[in-house]
Amino acid sequence: MFLDRLDKAILRTLQADCSISNVKLADKVGLSPPACLKRVQRLHRERVIDRQVAILNPLKLGGVLHLVVEVYMERDQKHLNDDFVRRVQQTPQVKECYQVTGEVDFVLIIDVPNMADYELLCEELLYSHANMKSFKTLISMNRVKYDTQMVVEERD
């Protein structure tokens, strides 16, 4: 799908604040409100905008441990990796999962309230998987940067 400079301006603006009104969005990107609304609807229809969510402040909801987990598989076989991916997708504490190149097979970003919950998750997801060789857990001491916005180039 081709995105022109106005589409990209709409996307950049909505990534910063998806609660902006259509009238304000239209004004910000230099379109009439009806033309802007048509573009936003098209971006939704074409799944360029996948979904709109509220990002919560974890500090306001009690403590959360942010963990980065490097996963090493025993064998590199598609059906075994697919099984692991299915299990990861069904685990709500896993916020992100990347299949990567190099020595590590997967990198998981996990949020849990405490170490006891992480130990339980390890039992259910990691230790119990037949293809698990090992994993390494990195505990985040401080989230220095967190940004959900994708880069949308300004030029066409």
Task: Please list the rounded mean pLDDT of every run of 10 residues in the chain (156 residues).
Answer: 92 95 97 97 96 87 91 89 95 97 96 96 94 96 88 75
For domain 5-45, give the CATH number: 1.10.10.10
User: What pTM, to 2 d.p., does this model score?
Assistant: 0.82
Around Cβ 122, how many Cβ atoms within 10 Å? 16
For residues 123 and 78, the answer to whether their CB atoms sit within 8 Å is no
Give the angle 154-155-156 at the CA atoms, nearest 5°: 125
The string of pLDDT tens digits covering residues 58-69 is 888 887 899 999
Q: How far is 5 from 152, CA to CA, in rounded Å? A: 10
Dihedral, 115, 105, 100, 108 alpha carbons, nearest 10: -10
Pull the structure tokens for residue 14.
């909505």
> Nearest-CA neighbor of 139 among 97, 116, 110?
110
**150 closest CA partner among 6, 12, 1, 29:** 12
User: Is CATH 3.40.50.620 what the domain over 58-139 is classified as, yes or no?
Assistant: no
List the one residue out of 152, 153, 149, 155 whose CA is nearest residue 53: 149
Query: For the chain, what are the domain ranges?
Result: 5-45, 58-139
